[in-house]
C-alpha cells in the first residue's frame, strides 16, 4: 500500500502529465495551422509520450492498491510566436516537471517508500532527456534565426520523428 499523502501526490502528478500532453497537443495544433507540419508532428508525438507518462503513474498507483482519481485538466496556451518560442516554453515547462518529480522523490525518501522511489528513477532519467532534447532544438532554431530555408529543412527533419511507446510500464499489466 501507499500512504494517502503519496497517493494524493501521485494523482496530482497524473494530472500534470495529462496537462503536459494537452499542452503539446495544443502546440501541435498551432504549428499545423501555420503550415509547419513537421514541428506539429514532433509535438503530436510528445503528446503521446505524455499520455504514456500518465499511464505509468496510473498503473503504478493501481498496482500498489491505491486509488486513481482524475481531476479537470487546466486550460493551456493556444499560440506561440515562433518555433523557437515554443521550444523555449517546452524547456521551461519540462524544468517545472523535473522539479515536481524531484519533490515526489523527496516524499518517497521521507516516507521510506522504496518502491515509489524505484519507480520514480525512470522519470528522473526521462526528465534529463526531455530537457536535453528541448535545449538542443532551442540551439538549432536559434542558429537558424529567420532563415526560411533553414526552418523549412528543420521542419522536414522533425516531420520524420516516429512514436515509440515511452516505456512498457505504460501497458496495463
Ligand atoms: Mg511527462
Distance 149 CA to ligand 1 centre (A): 32
Q: Within 10 Å of residue 113's Cβ, how many Cβ atoms? A: 20
Distance 144 CA to ligand 1 centre (A): 28
- At which residue does the C-alpha cell 498503473 appear? 59
What is the structure's pLDDT at 147? 95
Distance 141 CA to ligand 1 centre (A): 23
Distance CA 26, CA 9 (A): 26
Distance 67 CA to ligand 1 centre (A): 20
Could you tell me where the DSSP H helices lie in the chain? 4-33, 37-63, 83-110, 114-144, 148-158
Distance CA 41, CA 18 (A): 18
Distance 134 CA to ligand 1 centre (A): 13
The dihedral formed by the CA atoms of 79, 82, 84 and 87, expressed in degrees to the nearest 10 = 20
Mean pLDDT by 10 residues, the chain (173 residues): 97 98 98 98 98 98 98 98 98 98 98 97 97 98 96 97 91 78
Using DSSP, state whether 152 is helix, strand or coil.
helix
- Number of residues that this document lists for the chain: 173
Q: Within 10 Å of residue 51's Cβ, how many Cβ atoms? A: 18
Distance 13 CA to ligand 1 centre (A): 9
CB 10 within 8 A of CB 60: yes
- At which residue does the C-alpha cell 509520450 appear? 49
What is the structure's pLDDT at 173? 64
Cell numbers for 153: 529543412
Cell numbers for 16: 500534470
Distance 121 CA to ligand 1 centre (A): 13
What is the structure's pLDDT at 127? 97
What is the structure's pLDDT at 70? 98
What is the structure's pLDDT at 31? 98
Distance CA 72, CA 9 (A): 15
Distance 4 CA to ligand 1 centre (A): 23
CA-based angle 11:22:124, to the nearest 5?
Answer: 55
Q: Which DSSP state fits 82? A: S
What is the structure's pLDDT at 118? 97
Amino acid at each position: 500500500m501507499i500512504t494517502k499523502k503519496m497517493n494524493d501526490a501521485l494523482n496530482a502528478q497524473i494530472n500534470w502529465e495529462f496537462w503536459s500532453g494537452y499542452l503539446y497537443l495544443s502546440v501541435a495544433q498551432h504549428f499545423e495551422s501555420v503550415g509547419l507540419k513537421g514541428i506539429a508532428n514532433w509535438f503530436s508525438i510528445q503528446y503521446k509520450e505524455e499520455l504514456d507518462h500518465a499511464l505509468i503513474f496510473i498503473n503504478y498507483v493501481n498496482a500498489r492498491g491505491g486509488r486513481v482519481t482524475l481531476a479537470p485538466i487546466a486550460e493551456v496556451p493556444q499560440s506561440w510566436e515562433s518555433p523557437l518560442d515554443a521550444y523555449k516554453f517546452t524547456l521551461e515547462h519540462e524544468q517545472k516537471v523535473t522539479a515536481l518529480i524531484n519533490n515526489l522523490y523527496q516524499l518517497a525518501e521521507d516516507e521510506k517508500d522504496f518502491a515509489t522511489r524505484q519507480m520514480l528513477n525512470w522519470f528522473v532519467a526521462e526528465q534529463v532527456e526531455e530537457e536535453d532534447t528541448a535545449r538542443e532544438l532551442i540551439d538549432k532554431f536559434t542558429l537558424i534565426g529567420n532563415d526560411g530555408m533553414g526552418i523549412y529543412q528543420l521542419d522536414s527533419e522533425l516531420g520524420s520523428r516516429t512514436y515509440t511507446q515511452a516505456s512498457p510500464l505504460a501497458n496495463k499489466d
